[in-house]
């Protein structure tokens, strides 16, 4: 009822999007929280994007990037592509929230949930 | 035998202090802010928190050669530079010399999403990067609470901010943190709970249309401090706190005497003048010649080649010069010689604190031996009685500390009974010269009396005050029957005596 959009069309459009998805993951050293976030992000990407790329940036090695990208919190994910850039802070421990944050559209979250049920 | 336990008390030592260099702050904190620790500056919007934080750094650079880092969560570097130019600071110069670093932390909750847990390592890395490149002894955060407004997980943030300050402490850096005051708590998110080794509250209050800024030290771990509220000013030369009430009453008492400029008055005073560094109050109704007495004193001072500042709250300089020349006091000559400074101030132009500061500055610059304020009663238009009283008290303490002899005139009503306001001031004045009119059916004459002169056996006699073309004079008053014989009716007396002799 509350889903006003036709279910068939739009999710498919997004899923079949062949656009390249690029994420930057900013971490500080080899902390477990960084690895955890990377794995979560990767599993989300595997599920939803055919063509994606995750760049891991260790701020301890590139401290000047912290100022440049205005990074306060660790971990921070920046969606570089598609534009516009979107910044997400946190370890993505809440996947629903994570997807919302990645601005993949709320419809897609539904789809993802259903997808999970089906499997 | 009971063992004698030797009590070895640890040597009383105050925690190490970091001098701020802000005038007044070091006095009321007995040496400065806690070194290598954090101080919270809390206040309502516009109370001067950013100013305090920046001044702490600037004074650190200029006075103590300690480079500073200003971490701004609100304003950008260019904004800060612009703001402080108007306060007389050229931040560009300090930044170019790498003594001052302004680091803006941009944070805006509309620009990011939160998903899960995080820590503030990004902030740490940013700051670490700055600290690595520059040697820094002082850091100011303005205002760290912005983190709390933009990030959701408050309890987690709190531990993170706490970690940040511990990290700075380990690096032996003195921190100043600003926070918005909400209701009666020092900060909205309770930063004071974990940050503060010292809490300073800034406040602005408006009473009878005059705004006064006040500062108070709420807490200072392990150190005594002044507990009063201290007025402070933000001037074109920065922050200025009036810590003068902290001055102890231990100024030296001079034995040397300076003449009053009126011969007969010197005779009345027992020691041929006032003690140097004393405070003199001249009270009287309108038109009696208070300004003349003050001007005579100024003239005498300048005659000896000493400097004098004449603060006039009523008349313009030219008016004073003209009026005084009519009674034979040539002020213009001494002004051109540079011995006399005539400062005419509109009493309503600013608040009491600014008047106080202006007077103090002028005294510090010219180093006069005599200061005249004519009249202090006009200050009442600027403040309430109690405020004026405390301001004058601080002013007199300042003059005594500087060994400046001060003469203040005050207007009283014609009714001699109505003395109340002057009595309150006169209690902390050393000399009180009281003038009043005597009115008979046919004439009015002025008389003068020394009500009090600390430390000297002064005359208790009432004298007649004469203002002549050649100057101010005092005459003895004779009593003939029930009538006082004054200068004006001496002529009459002569006539009477003449008639009487003829009748004989």
pLDDT at B248: 62
Quick one: closest CA in B to A86, which residue?
A: B112
Inter-helix orientation angle B49-64/B77-85, to 10°: 80
Say whether both B236 and B300 belong to one domain.
Answer: no
Find the CB nearest B129 among A63, A75, A100.
Answer: A63
- The neighbouring-strand residues paired with B69 are B101, B139
Residues 81-140 of B with CB under 8 A from A: 103, 105-107, 111-126, 128-129, 132
Query: Distance between CA atoms of B54 and B102, rounded to whole angstroms?
Result: 10
Count of domains forming chain B: 2
Considering B246, B268, B291, which residue would you say is the last residue of a domain? B246
Residue B8 included in any domain: no
Say whether both B27 and B83 belong to one domain.
Answer: yes
Give residue A117's pLDDT band: very low, low, confident or very high (50, 70, 90): very low
Query: Distance between CA atoms of B410 and B286, rounded to whole angstroms?
Result: 10
- Which residue ranges make up each domain of chain A? 20-110
Say whether both B310 and B238 belong to one domain.
Answer: no
Say whether both B342 and B421 belong to one domain.
Answer: yes
- CB count in 10 Å sphere of residue B422: 22
Say whether both B374 and B402 belong to one domain.
Answer: yes
pLDDT (tens digit per residue) in A67-82 = 888 888 888 888 887 7
Considering B226, B246, B266, which residue would you say is the last residue of a domain? B246
Say whether both B228 and B276 belong to one domain.
Answer: no
CB contact under 8 A, B126 and A71: yes
pLDDT at A67: 83
Homologous superfamily of A20-110 in CATH? Glutaredoxin (3.40.30.10)
Say whether both B315 and B437 belong to one domain.
Answer: yes
Residue B500 included in any domain: no
Give residue A4's pLDDT band: very low, low, confident or very high (50, 70, 90): low
Say whether both B342 and B261 belong to one domain.
Answer: yes
pLDDT (tens digit per residue) in B391-440 = 888 888 888 888 899 999 888 776 656 555 555 677 788 888 888 887 77
CB contact under 8 A, A72 and B107: yes
Find the CB nearest B116 among A59, A98, A103.
Answer: A98
pLDDT at B138: 92
Residue B252 included in any domain: no
Q: What is the CATH number of the domain that holds B39?
A: 3.40.50.300
Structure tokens at B364: 């510090």
Residues of B in contact with A72 (CB under 8 A): 105, 107, 120, 122-123, 126, 147
pLDDT at B455: 86
Say whether both B264 and B216 belong to one domain.
Answer: no
pLDDT at B440: 72
Q: Which domain holds residue B200?
A: 15-109+117-246
Sites in chain B below the pLDDT cut of 70 = 1-14, 184-188, 191-195, 207-210, 243-250, 381-385, 414-424, 441, 479-490, 493, 504
Q: List C-alpha distances in Å: A51 to A48, B482, B487.
A: 9, 119, 113
pLDDT at A45: 80
pLDDT at B464: 85
CB contact under 8 A, A63 and B111: no
pTM of the model: 0.70
Q: Which helix (H) or strand (E) holds A21?
A: strand A21-27
In degrees and rounded to multiples of 5, residue B140 shows phi and psi of -120, 135
Give residue A14's pLDDT band: very low, low, confident or very high (50, 70, 90): low
Say whether both B402 and B319 belong to one domain.
Answer: yes
Say whether both B353 and B224 belong to one domain.
Answer: no
DSSP per residue over B176-192, as a string? Answer: EEEEE-BTTBS-TT-HH
R_g over Cα of chain A: 15
Say whether both B222 and B91 belong to one domain.
Answer: yes
pLDDT at B378: 77
């Amino acid at each position: 009822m509350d889903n006003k959009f036709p279910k068939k069309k739009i999710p498919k459009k997004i899923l079949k999007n062949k656009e390249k998805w690029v994420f930057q993951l900013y971490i500080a050293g080899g902390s477990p929280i960084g690895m955890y976030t990377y794995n979560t992000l990767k599993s989300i990407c595997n599920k939803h994007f055919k063509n994606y790329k995750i760049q891991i940036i260790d701020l301890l090695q590139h401290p000047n990037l912290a100022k440049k990208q205005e990074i306060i919190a660790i971990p921070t994910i920046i969606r570089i592509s598609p534009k516009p850039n979107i910044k997400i802070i946190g370890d993505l421990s809440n996947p629903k929230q994570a997807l919302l944050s990645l601005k993949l559209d709320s419809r897609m979250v539904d789809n993802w949930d259903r997808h999970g049920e089906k499997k | 035998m009971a063992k004698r336990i030797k009590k070895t008390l640890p040597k009383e030592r105050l925690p190490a202090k970091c001098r701020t260099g802000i005038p007044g702050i070091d006095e009321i904190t007995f040496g400065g802010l806690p070194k290598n620790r954090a101080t919270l500056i809390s206040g309502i919007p516009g109370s001067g928190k950013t100013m305090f934080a920046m001044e702490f750094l600037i004074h650190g650079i200029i006075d103590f050669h300690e480079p500073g880092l200003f971490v701004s969560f609100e304003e950008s570097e260019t904004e800060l530079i612009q703001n402080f130019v108007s306060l007389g600071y050229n931040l560009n110069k300090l930044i170019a010399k790498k003594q001052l670093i302004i680091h803006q932390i941009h944070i805006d909750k509309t620009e990011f999403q939160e998903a899960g847990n995080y820590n503030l390592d990004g902030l740490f890395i940013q700051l670490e990067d700055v600290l690595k490149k520059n040697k820094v002894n002082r850091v100011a955060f303005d205002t760290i609470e912005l983190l709390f407004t933009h990030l959701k997980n408050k309890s987690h943030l709190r531990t993170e901010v706490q970690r940040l300050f511990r990290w700075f402490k380990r690096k032996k850096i003195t921190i100043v943190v600003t926070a918005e005051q909400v209701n009666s708590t020092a900060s909205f998110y309770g930063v004071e709970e974990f940050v503060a080794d010292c809490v300073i509250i800034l406040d602005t209050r408006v009473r009878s249309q005059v705004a006064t800024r006040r500062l108070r030290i709420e807490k200072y771990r392990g150190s005594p401090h002044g507990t009063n509220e201290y007025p402070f000013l933000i001037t074109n030369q920065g922050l200025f706190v009036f810590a003068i009430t902290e001055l102890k009453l231990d100024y030296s008492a001079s034995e040397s005497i300076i003449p009053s400029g009126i011969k007969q008055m010197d005779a009345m005073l027992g020691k041929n003048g006032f003690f140097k560094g004393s405070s003199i109050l001249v009270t009287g109704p309108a038109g009696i010649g208070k300004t003349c007495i003050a001007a005579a004193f100024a003239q005498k001072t300048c005659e000896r080649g000493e400097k004098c500042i004449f603060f006039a709250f009523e008349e313009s300089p030219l008016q004073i010069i003209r009026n005084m020349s009519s009674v034979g006091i040539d002020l213009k000559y001494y002004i051109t010689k540079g011995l006399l400074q005539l400062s005419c101030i509109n009493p309503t132009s600013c608040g009491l604190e600014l008047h106080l500061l202006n007077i103090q500055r002028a005294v510090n610059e010219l180093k006069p031996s005599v200061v005249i304020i004519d009249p202090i009663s006009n200050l009442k238009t600027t403040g309430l009685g109690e405020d004026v009283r405390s301001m004058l008290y601080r002013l007199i303490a300042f003059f005594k500390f500087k060994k400046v002899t001060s003469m203040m005139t005050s207007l009283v009503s014609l009714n001699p009974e109505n003395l109340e306001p002057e009595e309150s001031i006169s209690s902390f004045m050393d000399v009180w010269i009281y003038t009043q009119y005597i009115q008979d059916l046919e004439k009015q004459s002025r008389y003068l009396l020394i009500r009090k002169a600390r430390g000297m056996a002064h005359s208790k006699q009432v004298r007649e005050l004469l203002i002549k073309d050649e100057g101010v004079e005092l005459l003895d008053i004779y009593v003939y029957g029930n009538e006082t014989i004054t200068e004006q009716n001496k002529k009459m007396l002569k006539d009477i005596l003449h008639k009487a002799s003829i009748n004989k």
